């Protein structure tokens, strides 16, 4: 096909600066490398996946099957979500976190990811700053930047179990600070803030007039008797300036169904719904019906998954902690361990001397055939994220391979 030459526009970039500025997901890059090796027939064990390895519960699948056959689900529906689902999400939120809200305060989105993007698109004007505790989930800084905002990283390390304190947040606050992003239980560290810490941060945000976007997607995956506390429940006066993000992906093992939501004050939710009406319209009705069965149904299926994760968590933390040069705080939530491997950087392993965790992760993939995600993906080089959403025997085999390789460090 002939390509027409348009000299007037050839000086212009083909891709906008906004989109060209997006950093490709390091998590997906690791996954792609691991898949390529697997395709060559190599027995790669992957700790990269951010999704439960359980099937979606049967009653949810059955609800979707029935929904496919119902003509009412074949056409457009309200952009903000099916009224029954919005009601059910409001009821589920009160049941699970204690936050009381009405259906009109709920916007159903295409996965939690779109809730993150829409929250920032709705709240931020160009130049508005967002305090972003790190290690952070990779999608946050990209969504903030795409919305015209400026992510301001506030880093916590293993000495505080990766939890930031009010002093650090206050030191990073400026005249332009509009939002604090909060994620507990956290991806990638698995850390969970205590009720006292949530209260302290919430009261500080209230006093400073800062909005809070709190991502509660791992609320049910907590261990050792710990509870995930919802900031607008702990500090109710903050509710008028808080957006709560959540979804069915992690709790009901429904990553592929793409249903999430955002809960907040009515004026902001209605603005976000108006944005969504142009962006994508309604979330697929069949998925919404499946999500309705999930959120309105029993939580016993969730408990089965949670206790399996708990057992793997104990195994992985104890195995990682036994590796010289690796320091692994015990995560109390989600399904990730986030050990520091800083002591191993610069050492010699099989003739190589990796100086950062991207290089060390590459070496581990090539030599031990194990995929882990380097901390660079989460704003904190020097660490690895291990997802323990894989079968226990694979987990043991994978960590054993890593331990054997790292034991050669000199
Ligand atoms: N929030 C956090 C912290 C996550 O880890 C994820 C997924 O990895 C999401 C939100 C979004 O999940 P989804 O878009 O699959 O609903």
CATH assignment of the domain containing 50: 3.90.1150.10
187 with 86, same domain? Answer: yes
**Ligand 1 centroid vs 227 CA: distance in angstroms?**
19
pLDDT at 8: 53
222 with 325, same domain? Answer: no
| pLDDT tens, residue order, the chain (410 aa) | 444 555 555 789 999 999 998 887 777 788 888 888 989 999 999 998 888 889 999 999 999 999 999 999 999 999 999 999 999 999 999 999 999 999 999 999 999 999 999 999 999 999 999 999 999 999 999 999 999 999 999 999 999 999 999 999 999 999 999 999 999 999 999 999 999 999 999 999 999 999 999 999 999 999 999 999 999 999 999 999 999 999 999 999 999 999 999 999 999 999 999 999 999 999 999 999 999 999 999 999 899 999 999 999 999 999 999 999 999 999 999 999 999 999 999 999 999 999 999 999 999 999 999 999 999 999 999 999 999 999 999 999 999 999 999 999 99
264 with 177, same domain? Answer: yes
Instruction: Yes or no: say if 333 and 228 are a contact pair by the CB < 8 Å rule.
Output: yes
| 6 part of a folded domain | no
For ligand 1, pick from 52, 111, 283 the residue to mutate: most ligand atoms within 8 Å of CB.
Answer: 111
207 with 133, same domain? Answer: yes
126 with 227, same domain? Answer: yes
Question: How far apart (Å, rounded) are the C-alpha atoms in residues 381 and 384?
Answer: 8
pLDDT at 1: 46
Cα distances from 377 to residues 141, 158, 201, 340, 374, in angstroms, run 11, 17, 25, 14, 6
**Ligand 1 centroid vs 140 CA: distance in angstroms?**
10
Instruction: Yes or no: say if 159 and 167 are a contact pair by the CB < 8 Å rule.
Output: no
| 385 part of a folded domain | yes
Q: How many residues in the chain? A: 410
**Ligand 1 centroid vs 113 CA: distance in angstroms?**
6
pLDDT at 11: 85
| 2 part of a folded domain | no
Domain boundary among 227, 262, 296: 296
Q: Check which CATH number belongs to the domain holding 155 and give it.
A: 3.40.640.10
Tokens of 36: 């390529």
**Ligand 1 centroid vs 281 CA: distance in angstroms?**
20
Of 343, 224, 269, whose CA–CA distance to 107 is shortest? Answer: 269
**Phi-psi region at 334: left, alpha or beta (left = phi > 0; alpha = psi -120 to 50):** left
127 with 267, same domain? Answer: yes
Q: Is 13 helix (H, G, I), strand (E, B) or coil?
A: coil
| 244 part of a folded domain | yes
| Tokens 């952070």, residue located | 136
Of 400, 196, 372, whose CA–CA distance to 316 is shortest? Answer: 400
For ligand 1, pick from 135, 249, 251 the residue to mutate: most ligand atoms within 8 Å of CB.
Answer: 249
DSSP result, 62-116:
HHHHHHHH-GGGSS---TT--HHHHHHHHHHHHHHT-----GGGEEEESHHHHHH
pLDDT at 233: 98
Domain boundary among 273, 296, 319: 296
| 155 part of a folded domain | yes
Question: How far apart (Å, rounded) are the C-alpha atoms in residues 111 and 116?
Answer: 9
164 with 247, same domain? Answer: yes
| 8 part of a folded domain | no
152 with 67, same domain? Answer: yes
| 3 part of a folded domain | no
270 with 337, same domain? Answer: no
| Overall domain count for the chain | 2
Strands 336-337 and 370-371: unpaired
For ligand 1, pick from 181, 221, 247 the residue to mutate: most ligand atoms within 8 Å of CB.
Answer: 247
**Ligand 1 centroid vs 287 CA: distance in angstroms?**
16
Domain boundary among 269, 296, 323: 296
**Ligand 1 centroid vs 138 CA: distance in angstroms?**
10
Radius of gyration of the chain (CA): 22
User: SS3 letters for 105-131?
Assistant: HEEEECHHHHHHHHHHHHHCCCCCEEE
Tokens of 161: 């179990």
| 107 part of a folded domain | yes
Tally Cβ neighbours within 10 Å of residue 357.
Answer: 26
127 with 210, same domain? Answer: yes
Pocket of ligand 1 (CB under 6 A): 50, 111-113, 137, 183, 187, 215, 217, 247, 249, 255, 260
Tokens of 46: 């992957």
277 with 327, same domain? Answer: no
Domain hosting residue 95, numbered range:
59-296
Of 223, 163, 220, 217, whose CA–CA distance to 189 is shortest? Answer: 163
Tokens of 154: 């506030």
pLDDT at 256: 96
Question: How far apart (Å, rounded) are the C-alpha atoms in residues 35 and 40?
Answer: 9
Alpha helix stretches (DSSP H) within 242-378: 266-279, 285-296, 300-321, 357-368
141 with 25, same domain? Answer: no
């Amino acid at each position: 096909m002939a390509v027409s030459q348009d000299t007037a526009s050839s000086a212009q970039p083909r891709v906008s600066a906004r989109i060209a500025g997006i950093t490709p997901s390091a998590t997906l890059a690791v996954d792609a490398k691991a898949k390529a090796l697997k395709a060559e027939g190599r027995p790669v064990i992957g700790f990269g996946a951010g999704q439960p390895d359980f099937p979606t519960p049967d009653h949810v699948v059955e609800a979707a099957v029935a929904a496919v056959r119902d003509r009412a689900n074949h056409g457009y529906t309200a952009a903000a979500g099916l009224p029954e689902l919005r009601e059910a999400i409001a009821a589920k939120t009160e049941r699970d976190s204690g936050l009381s809200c009405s259906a009109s305060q709920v916007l159903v989105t295409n996965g939690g990811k779109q809730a993150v993007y829409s929250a920032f698109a709705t709240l931020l004007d160009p130049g508005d700053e967002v305090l972003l505790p790190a290690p952070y989930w990779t999608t946050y800084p990209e969504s903030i930047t795409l919305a015209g905002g400026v992510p301001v990283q506030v880093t916590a390390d293993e000495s505080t179990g990766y939890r930031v304190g009010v002093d650090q947040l206050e030191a990073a606050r400026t005249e332009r600070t509009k939002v604090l992003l909060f994620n507990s239980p956290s991806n990638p560290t698995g850390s969970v803030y205590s009720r006292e810490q949530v209260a302290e941060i919430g009261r500080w945000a209230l006093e400073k007039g800062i909005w809070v976007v709190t991502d509660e997607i791992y609320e049910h995956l907590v261990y050792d008797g710990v509870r995930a506390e919802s900031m607008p429940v702990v500090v109710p006066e903050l509710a008028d300036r808080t957006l709560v993000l959540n979804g069915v992906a992690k709790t009901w093992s429904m990553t592929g169904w793409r249903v999430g939501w955002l809960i907040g004050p009515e004026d902001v939710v209605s603005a976000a719904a108006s944005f969504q009406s142009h962006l994508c319209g309604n979330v697929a009705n069949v998925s919404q019906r499946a999500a309705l069965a999930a959120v309105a149904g029993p939580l016993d299926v969730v408990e089965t998954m949670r206790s399996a994760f708990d057992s793997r968590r104990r195994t992985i933390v104890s195995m990682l902690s036994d590796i010289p040069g690796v320091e692994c705080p015990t995560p109390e939530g989600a399904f990730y361990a986030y050990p520091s491997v800083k002591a191993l950087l610069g050492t010699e392993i099989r003739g190589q001397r990796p100086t950062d965790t991207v290089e060390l992760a590459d070496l581990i993939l090539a030599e031990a055939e194990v995929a882990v995600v380097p901390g660079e993906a989460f704003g904190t080089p020097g660490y690895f994220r291990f997802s323990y959403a894989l079968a226990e025997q694979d987990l043991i085999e994978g960590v054993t391979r890593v331990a054997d390789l790292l034991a050669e460090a000199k």
